[in-house]
Amino acid sequence: MKFAVIFEGKVCSVLLFSISLIVWPPPAVSQPIPDRMLNRMDTDGGGKISRSESRGRRRPSGFFDTDGDGFIPRQEIEVVSGDGGRQRGRRRGQQEFRRGNEGVRLDGEATIDVLDEETLCGIGRGRRCDVKLYFKRGLIETGLQPAFPKGLDCPEIDEAWAIDYSSKRDREAYHGGIDMPTPFGTPIIAAAAGTVVAKYEGRNSFRGREIILRHSPGDTGLPVWIYTQYTHFETMPKQKIGQRVKMGEVLGPTGNSGKQRLSSRRPRRSAIHYAVWFSTDPRYVPLRRKVIPVDSYWMDPIALYRKGPPFDSNSMKALPEGEKQVAIAVMTEKGEVIPAGAKVVWPYFCRRGFSLFR
């Protein structure tokens, strides 16, 4: 009788263990984060883990969704299963990035461990990050306006920097770049000389096909490291990770790639989404779905054309109204740079004479 009880206990344990195998670990593919899954994650073996508990463990609220795509892949779940798991999980995410990106290791490339929590959330914008950290890292409206050279036709911004984008997402969101609509196929060009640090197919991303360039102070003549991001390509840019590009080099054709909010009725228009970050630290961390420069800040892309610091959004916002018009340097399709000698140009060619953009 006593034996039977013990035996039954074992059967019970085996059953529970089998069930836990079915439930845990979750499949390696990305999947949405249901709250009940978070609640099920029992890191200390005794209770349940909730969002507030994870904050209590002195991890940033956005930690689960480290790449900010609204999905939680397995390594992100592992991150909460102990410190060893945290490091292992973060590194695994990077290894996957390298495998998917020709396995190169580049100058300045760092591992996620070196990111402070404010940058990780303020730039990474994980689903559970506090939006106040976005603002702290410069994602605020500045009032800057582009002023293009006279006699040239340049694609203009239709969705401005840092506007409230919450209606386009299912959470509070702000536009981390500027959009310029142009016809399908319009070439997108490198704003400055630089190095390709990431490319993403973006099948599950709002940004779609994307390339990110890193520009040294020597590339731009500016005293900071600049990162420029170009998205929604019709086809993937041909440049490889690690490749040097020239200012004005064609990266690829404008498209409308990237997922849309389910409730949107019309297909996305063809346009570039153009974003800029800066940092005094030369290091950056390539993740599976985004690049986060170490100790970096958002830059209103128009501020990049001011030819010198300050660039930070608070300073831009505080400029007198007369200084908010920024003269934009551009390149024509023939390679003419206006004004001559500029090291940073608009990410589309400008054309003389009649308009092809409108």
Binding interface with Zn ion (CB under 5 A): 177, 179, 273
CB of 175 to Zn ion, least distance (A): 6
Tokens of 207: 């940004």
CB of 301 to Zn ion, least distance (A): 10
Whose Cβ is closer to Zn ion: residue 80's or residue 272's?
272
Whose Cβ is closer to Zn ion: residue 210's or residue 219's?
210
Whose Cβ is closer to Zn ion: residue 62's or residue 176's?
176
Whole-number Cα distances in Å, 163 to 143, 170, 172: 11, 15, 11
CB of 163 to Zn ion, least distance (A): 9
CB of 45 to Zn ion, least distance (A): 44
- Give me the phi and psi of 288, to 5 degrees please: -65, -30
Strand residue runs (E) in 59-158: 145-147, 152-153
Amino acid letter at 250?
A: V
Tokens of 78: 């592992």
Amino acid letter at 33?
A: I
- Which residues have C-beta within 8 Å of that of residue 228, sequence separation ≥ 6? 190, 191, 192, 194, 212, 213, 215, 274, 275, 276, 304, 347
Whose Cβ is closer to Zn ion: residue 214's or residue 273's?
273
Question: Are the CB atoms for 228 and 245 separated by under 8 Å?
Answer: no
Instruction: Return the exposure string of 104-127: e unless at least 16 CB atoms fall within 10 Å of the residue's CB, then b.
Output: eeeebbbebeebebebbbbbbbbb
- The residue nearest Zn ion at its CB is 273
Whose Cβ is closer to Zn ion: residue 193's or residue 271's?
271
Whose Cβ is closer to Zn ion: residue 78's or residue 179's?
179
Compute CA 38 distance to the chain's CA centroid, rounded to the nearest angstrom: 24
Whose Cβ is closer to Zn ion: residue 72's or residue 271's?
271
Output the CA angle 189-103-71, nearest 5 degrees.
Answer: 80
Torsion of CA 351, 356, 357, 358, to 10 degrees: 130
